[in-house]
Amino acid sequence: MSGSRPVRVALIDNFEVSVAGVRSLLTPYSARVALLDLGSAMTKPSSVDVILYEPVRQTPSSQAMLRDLVRASQKSAVVYSWRDKEGQATGSFAAHLSKALPAVDLVNAIESLHDGGDGGPSRRIPSDQGPLKVIRGSTQRDYDLTPREAEILSLVTQGLTNSEIGGQLYLSINSVKTYIRAAYRKIEVTRRAQAVAWGMEHGLAPLAETDVVSG
């Protein structure tokens, strides 16, 4: 652990379910890392040790929030995203952490950053590796997910809504809900935040276009 108290982290991410997933992911490590409420962090920026920033879907107001928090806290922001280092983020950032990092590696990276390091290696899942292969390659347990269920879990993990998933995969909302219920049962979760945390722990990176399956 870094110091006598947990490293306090502010996360600026417009995917609310992703924030909930990160919170769930970090809960077992609460003695080492504490995810602050963003409102509290903005009110008391001196309480912030590390700033994580998801550049995808940011608005002018959230970008202004990042600038204000960086300036007030005197801390550099760290990109925390599924996107590559060469992706969407622009500006000056202290490091780039991938959302494919398992929980323990994320905690280690946050502590490293707080101690003045670079966060260590940023794990990236090859874009041509489908989600089902990622799941089976990251654990000895076979969850018996179908390719479609794994694909939808990957999109849930990225923060997409059921409507967005249906639009991307040309499925009805009811079909999406059916796949999600089946996947939740197999991975033994009941809430979306738990599913996001599970997907992040198992490295469910965004799909390449060639990974999309039919039916």
Tens-place pLDDT, residues 36-85: 999 999 999 999 999 999 998 888 998 999 999 999 999 989 999 877 65
Q: Are residues 104 and 12 in the same domain?
A: yes
The total domain count for the chain is 2
Q: Are residues 99 and 136 in the same domain?
A: no
Q: Are residues 18 and 105 in the same domain?
A: yes
Return the minimum-mean-pLDDT range out of 31-35, 75-79, 187-191, 202-206: 202-206
Q: Are residues 24 and 99 in the same domain?
A: yes
Q: What is the mean pLDDT of the chain?
A: 83
Model pTM score:
0.71
Q: Looking at residue 98, what is its pLDDT?
A: 86
> Does residue 167 have a pLDDT over 70?
yes
Q: Are residues 110 and 73 in the same domain?
A: yes
Tens-place pLDDT, residues 74-130: 998 999 987 765 444 455 788 889 888 889 999 999 999 998 876 665 554 444 456
Domain that holds residue 39: 7-114
SS (H, E, C) the chain: CCCCCCEEEEEECCCHHHHHHHHHHHHHHCCCEEECCHHHHHHCHHHCCEEEECCCCCCHHHHHHHHHHHHHHCCCEEEEECCCCCCCCCCCCCEEEECCCCHHHHHHHHHHHHCCCCCCCCCCCCCCCCHHHHHHHHCCCCCCCCHHHHHHHHHHHCCCCHHHHHHHHCCCHHHHHHHHHHHHHHHCCCCHHHHHHHHHHCCCCCCCHHHCCCC
